C-alpha cells in the first residue's frame, strides 16, 4: 500500500469513528434519561433573566379556560441547550429594542392529556369566541390543532412574542397567541422565507388580513429565532423548536415547577 493511500485511509477511518462516537453518545444520553427526570432542564429565567412571562396555561386565559394539569408554578422550563440558544436570541433582540415574552415552554404530558380530554368534549365551548370563532370544535383533531403528542413535551420548544421597550407594549403581531385559524400561519399575507408582504388573505374564512407592519413584526421574531438555532412551525407564528433538540424521542412527564 502506498504511503499516501495509507494515510488517506487512516484519516477516513478516524473520521468515521468520530461520527459514530458522536451519534452513539447522543443516543446513549437520551436512553439514560427517563421521562420523569428533569436534570437536563433549567428554569428559564435563571438563564435568560430578561424574559417576560405570561404563562397562559398556568392561568385561565387560554383556549380551555382553566389552569392546565401539570402546571404547578408560574415558571417556564426548557432544556439547558435550548435555554442557552434562547439567551443568544434575547441578546440579539435587546440590541434591536425588544424583549422576549414567553407564553409556554416545556409542557408535561399531563398537560397535553388535558388538552385532549377538553377537545373530546365538544360541548365545552367557553373560550370559542376568543380562540376558535371560525371553527367547529369537532374539527380540532382532524385539522391538527390538538394532538396526543406535542413537541413542547420534549422540552426544547416554546411559544413566544416580542415586547417593544420603546412603547412599553407587546409588539402588534396582528393576532393573538393560540388563535386556531390560517390567520396564525407564518405565511398569512406574506412570504416568511423572503420577508415579503403580499397582503394575500385568501386563506382567511372571514376575509381578515394583517398589515404590512404586523407581518414585518412577525418576521423580526422569526429571523432572530432562526438565526440562533431554532426552526419555525408552519401554522403558528409564535412557535419554535430547537433544531438540534437533545431529546427528540422523549416525552417528559414531570410537572412545571421551579428547578432548583
What residues act catalytically? 236
Q: Identify the three-state secondary structure at position 139.
A: helix
Label the pairing between strands 98-104 and 52-53.
parallel
Please name the residue ranges forming H helices in the chain: 3-32, 44-47, 80-94, 109-120, 128-131, 212-227
Residues sharing a CB contact under 8 Å with residue 257, sequence separation 6 or more, in sequence order: 72, 73, 75
- Integer-rounded Cα Rg, in Å, for the chain is 21
Residues sharing a CB contact under 8 Å with residue 165, sequence separation 6 or more, in sequence order: 94, 97, 98, 99
Rounded to whole angstroms, how far apart are CA atoms 79 and 84?
Answer: 9
Q: Is 155 left (phi over 0), alpha (psi -120 to 50) or beta?
A: left
Is residue 47 within 8 A of residue 84, CB to CB? The reply is yes
Residues in the chain: 260
Neighbours of 22 (CB within 10 A): 10
Rounded to whole angstroms, how far apart are CA atoms 100 and 93?
Answer: 8
Rounded to whole angstroms, how far apart are CA atoms 162 and 174?
Answer: 12
Amino acid at each position: 500500500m502506498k504511503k499516501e493511500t495509507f494515510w488517506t485511509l487512516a484519516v477516513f477511518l478516524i473520521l468515521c469513528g468520530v461520527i459514530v462516537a458522536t451519534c452513539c453518545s447522543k443516543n446513549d444520553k437520551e436512553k439514560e434519561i427517563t421521562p420523569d427526570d428533569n436534570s437536563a432542564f433549567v428554569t428559564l429565567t435563571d438563564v435568560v433573566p430578561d424574559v417576560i412571562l405570561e404563562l397562559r396555561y398556568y392561568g385561565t386565559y387560554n383556549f380551555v379556560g382553566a389552569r392546565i394539569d401539570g402546571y404547578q408554578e408560574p415558571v417556564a422550563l426548557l432544556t439547558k441547550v435550548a435555554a442557552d440558544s434562547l439567551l443568544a436570541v434575547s441578546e440579539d433582540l435587546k440590541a434591536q429594542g425588544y424583549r422576549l415574552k414567553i407564553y409556554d415552554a416545556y409542557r408535561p404530558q399531563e398537560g397535553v392529556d388535558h388538552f385532549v380530554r377538553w377537545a373530546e368534549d365538544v360541548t365545552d365551548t367557553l373560550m370559542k369566541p376568543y380562540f376558535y370563532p371560525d371553527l367547529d370544535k369537532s374539527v380540532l383533531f382532524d385539522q391538527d390543532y390538538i394532538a396526543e403528542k406535542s413537541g413542547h413535551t420534549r422540552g426544547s420548544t416554546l411559544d413566544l412574542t416580542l415586547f417593544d421597550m420603546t412603547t412599553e407594549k407587546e409588539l402588534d403581531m396582528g393576532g393573538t397567541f393560540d388563535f386556531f385559524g390560517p390567520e396564525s400561519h407564518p405565511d398569512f399575507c406574506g412570504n416568511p422565507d423572503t420577508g415579503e408582504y403580499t397582503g394575500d388573505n385568501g386563506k382567511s374564512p372571514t376575509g381578515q388580513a394583517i398589515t404590512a407592519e404586523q407581518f414585518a413584526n412577525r418576521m423580526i421574531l422569526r429571523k432572530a429565532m432562526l438565526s440562533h438555532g431554532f426552526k419555525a412551525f408552519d401554522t403558528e407564528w409564535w412557535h419554535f423548536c430547537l433544531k438540534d433538540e437533545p431529546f427528540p424521542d422523549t416525552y417528559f412527564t414531570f410537572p412545571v415547577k421551579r428547578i432548583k
